[in-house]
Structure 1
Amino acid sequence: MGIERALPDRKSKQLCELPNDTNTNSKSRKNRRRQKKMSPVQRLFDTCKEVFASAGTGIVPPPQDIEKLRAVIDAITLEDAGLKPEMPYFRMNASQRTPRITYLHIYECENFSMGIFCLPPSGVIPLHNHPGMTVFSKLLFGTMHIKSYDWVVDFPSDTPTIFKPSETVQTPEVRLAKIKVDADFTAPCNPSILYPADGGNMHCFTAVTACAVLDVLGPPYSDPEGRHCTYYLNYPFSHFSVDGINVAEEERKDYEWLQERENLEDIEVVGGVYSGPKIAER
């Protein structure tokens, strides 16, 4: 920028230009040195601040910004975040009824949040949604099973996709969803990106081995703004029969019914202290 700004102001005497060029080159070298010293977590913060500058419910950053943030997240390692596989977060305690999951809070503001989930073997983050949010997840180490869904909103039938059981059943309503991903992933692997309406906005994490997941949300959950975290139970397509909704036999495995749940006795998430590189809010 310094060079571009100087071009229109060039003077006829070359000697007057030389000091400006020298200063510009010096500043450029200093900037490059600063970038080399910048921690990956700081680079992540700076990029999130830029990409989510106009964050809001349902607002998806432009494709070029999505790619920029994806590349920054993809480059982050477990060590960059100050973590090691032998840390207690990743071990199962025999006295625990369910595997304890630790969340390391890195940063949160009204536009985005950054954090790391640490899971011991068999740890589960139950199926949940991300309403109106764009979510980046990066598996930092280990093997994890991910199952994700998108709501069915254009099902070719005369009946809505929301099904309310009869009063005699006394169960919450269920809604049809299509399975987006149902597979094991082992680090290193590409980050996953979930969008407000597609990409697998609802997902479940199950630790096949001890693992860690970097999570970036834009914008973060906010009850006052209607971005509630809702958990779900999932049922095979054949579990419910709904008039007007028919799926070919060979495609039924791709659809499931999701039902809101309130009882979360099968999960224990505790907060941990993030001990990685500090972030400078500039």
Structure 2
Amino acid sequence: MAAPIQKIARLAFHVFSRKQFDGTFHEGLKSLKSMLNNITSKELNFDVNSLKRNPTQFEEAPVGYVSIWEDDVISIGVFVVKPNGRLPLHDHPGMHGLIRVIHGALNLKSFTETSGVGVPSDLNRKLTTPQEKSLLKPAVLVGESVVSTQDECCVLTPTDGNIHEIRPVGETVAFLDVLSPPYGDSKDCNYYSEMSVTESENQGDGITWLLKIPSPADYWCETFDYTGPVIDEAQFDN
């Protein structure tokens, strides 16, 4: 019998490799979400405490990553975010992302980019050059919620909730992450900071202004070996 992560990888590959050609994409995505809702850390042979066996590597990095599978259609892995860490506000350009918490709990804050909104005058004064202003974008807050192992997986699409920040709630959190398509040479993650707008400039339309910034200095990621069931690509065709 195929391991749960093998079934997830196979379904994810089929769903995302056919999304532009198959009218059943949304049904497939729904099935993938349902399958992810049932995956556990035990089925991945994943234990946060096992990462501490390399104390120097584990203690220094605020975020860890365990790569499970990657091809040109999907990437699957586990992110581990320690109490003092975070995945800063960032985007996945043109990508779908599914997040399933397998240990602890996280706070997910997400935004959807919008357009057709005039820049408030106080931001125009702060950002004086055309180059600075080109890094500014308006977004609408989709929501901020706490997600734990008891909750369903979260789905972020290329247009909905694509800009997001993840922080642990309390202790270390670990989550299974399915991304399609993976990052590549032409796809880079962009980071953002929320810009404050004076109350008099607040247009009352729920707009948050985000400024593209370099990768924050407090964020870096160490990699750890995967010890769970091996994914067999040959089974993708079955």
Given the two structures, how large is their TM-score scaled by the length of structure 2? Answer: 0.83
Distance in 2 separating the partners of 1:240 and 1:219: 42
Q: Counterpart of 1:69?
A: 32
Q: Within 5 A, what are the aligned runs for 1:197-276?
A: 197-198=159-160, 200-208=161-169, 209-224=171-186, 227-238=187-198, 241=201, 247-248=203-204, 254-276=206-228
Distance in 1 separating the partners of 2:107 and 2:54: 18
Q: Which amino acid in structure 2 is aligned with residue 194 of structure 1?
A: L
Matched residue of 1:86: which SS?
helix
Distance 1:109 1:67, change over 3 A: same
Distance in 2 separating the partners of 1:184 and 1:79: 22
Given the two structures, how large is their TM-score scaled by the length of structure 1? Answer: 0.71
Select the structure of larger CA radius of gyration: 1
Distance in 1 separating the partners of 2:115 and 2:108: 22
Using the TM superposition, give the Cα deviation of residue 55 of structure 1 relative to its aligned residue in structure 2, in angstroms.
5.4
Q: Which runs of 5+ in 2 are unaligned?
A: none
> Deviation string for 1:122-178 (max 9, x for gaps)?
3201111011111111111212111111112254xxx479x7632399676321111
> Deviation string for 1:25-50 (max 9, x for gaps)?
xxxxxxxxxxxx21111111111121
Q: Which runs of 5+ in 1 are unaligned?
A: 1-36
Matched residue of 1:238: which SS?
coil
Q: In the alignment, does 2:133 pair up with 1:177?
A: no
Higher relative contact order (CA 8 A, sep 6+): 2
Out of 78, 84, 99, the residue aligned to residue 41 of structure 2 is 78
The answer to whether the 8 Å contact 2:18/2:25 transfers is no
Matched residue of 1:267: which SS?
coil
Using the TM superposition, give the Cα deviation of residue 85 of structure 1 relative to its aligned residue in structure 2, in angstroms.
3.9
Distance in 2 separating the partners of 1:273 and 1:68: 28
Q: Counterpart of 2:5?
A: 41
Using the TM superposition, give the Cα deviation of residue 110 of structure 1 relative to its aligned residue in structure 2, in angstroms.
1.0
Q: Counterpart of 1:5?
A: none
Distance in 1 separating the partners of 2:199 and 2:177: 33
Give the fraction of aligned pairs with identical amino acids, expressed as a percent.
24
Out of 131, 135, 141, the residue aligned to residue 103 of structure 2 is 141
